[in-house]
Structure 1
Amino acid sequence: MHKGYVRRTLSLWGTALVLAMIGIFFLFGTIKGYMGGEALYKAGEIYHLNHAGTSVAIRVLDIDLEAVTYDGNEYYLVKHEKGVTPLQAQANDIQQLLDLKKENLKGWEPLRDKNIYLNVRVTPAVTKGRRGSTTVHIPAALIKAIMTQYQKGTLGNTLELDFLHYLTLTSFTNRLVETAVTLFVILIALAYFYGAYKRVRSLKEHYEMFDKEFPRYALNMKALPMDADFHDPILKVLVKDHKLVCYNNDFRVIKLREVRNVEVRRQLAKSSVAYAIDFGFSGNKKVTIQLKNRLEDVRQLVEYLNEKERTKISISF
């Protein structure tokens, strides 16, 4: 097996593996959003008073019936096994918790035996954006109100108050957005896999063609440039016995006698220019070779092909 084939395919499969891992990461995060609170808790995805990018679970031990209202939102202090954290929710969304609490107002951790688990999302007090910008989710006034409610509330002060985060119930919107993002990532990964598979097959075909057309050089490809009829080490293109070999990032073997038409294109990018040669064959088959931004070298290659291989390539730039 040629070293060049291994080197070129290794980078393709390496990138594919990274994309696959990213896709799996997003998929697991999405699956957690659909899990029940208890299942998520038993899977070890527990809130530990720190930021979490995907769903985590808490086991509810107690809840303060009096909500802290700020900027149109209500925050209920919820006691769980790791501490006390504000839960941003409407009363009707957690009515079961409130009703159970009302049944035992003076009990110590009255919800412990109820085995109530919540699938929640974590919002930190501050998030950092691009270029050093920050977004404040829990302003100082809200922190003060939460601390005041904790001191006068019914939860006691034996556990740490987590005022640097607040929780929200995992919503349909959360799940929908995560599902859409995950599907998008998976589609990108699948598209790349398909492209990588096609390129690997193409590389295999061209290396096999090289071995067939140049059997003397199959075990020593580096000797071919010294015997070539034309060789440009900058463009990494050579011609030998009416066959063009390109060995840059890609690898192509072109039988010039079978070429029907040839076109040289200039490709403009935001900050660079590159060139490409399209070789057309019968049956609408086309092979494209990408070249560096070396116009003089491209012209020398075109001149050689026109003179020695009788191609009719014109350059308008």
Structure 2
Amino acid sequence: MNDAGTSVAIRVLDIDSEPLTYDGKEYYLVKHEKGVTPLQAQAKDIQQLLDLKKANPNDWEPLKQENVYLNVRVTPEVTKGRRGSKTVHIPAVLIEAFTRQYRKGTLLPTEDSVPLDFLHYLTLTSFINRLLETGVTLFVFLLALVSFYSAYRRVRTLKEEYEAFDKEFPRYTQNMKALLMDADFNDPKLKVLVKDHKFVCYNKDFRVIKLREIRNVEVRRQKAKSSVTYAIDFAFGGNKNVNIQLKNRPENVRQLVDYLNEKEGTKISLPFQW
């Protein structure tokens, strides 16, 4: 497993449905393509995995054919701070508990399997959940697309956007709620914010955009049979374009456009009537 703070997508092959409780938190042993690692989560947040396991309790790797992917953040046993200080995330007693749970559970390895990784644990990651710090972990991404190729591209894009966020906002990586408070502009209805000339969309299509690198911005109104939505298009050099869908909240969209034009120097025109 990668080290502290990294977000990765894992393909779940199996799960031990019996949780291990320690210090008020629940851990489930999850088997994935790189081995077996404890996952810190509540049952309600991984109910689909538990239901799939319950339906096929005796099968070997019963979740493999379901193509279930989780976006998770990796926490190591120990992290080092400044001046040689250390923070222990997995104490010895918890390592022993992981090992006992593994030995009595259903995920024991075959000869060619990777054994238990007790030096790391996983947590589910979701941008909105990390912002609100509710402690409620959710699936960030569940592959439900027919085409494996399109599903793979979406996982890769999401991972790249998380990495871009961690790079551009390192001080908010572990405390995203603070970013809502510190943002230069924030609209919780549209789920967009601007901070330090960077546009962040935190709806289901999570994006981080450097406003000083864009060539052009346009806002469009899209009409369907009985509904209206809005979209904002960012054009970069070459053929790179990023499209973000916005809710039908015209006043909020107008405020966003006014802010971008006034504070970020964009020249967005609105070729439609409100």
Greater Cα radius of gyration, structure 1 or 2: 1
Structure with more of its chain in strand, by fraction: 2
TM-score computed with the length of structure 1 as normaliser? 0.43
TM-score computed with the length of structure 2 as normaliser? 0.49
Structure with more of its chain in helix, by fraction: 1
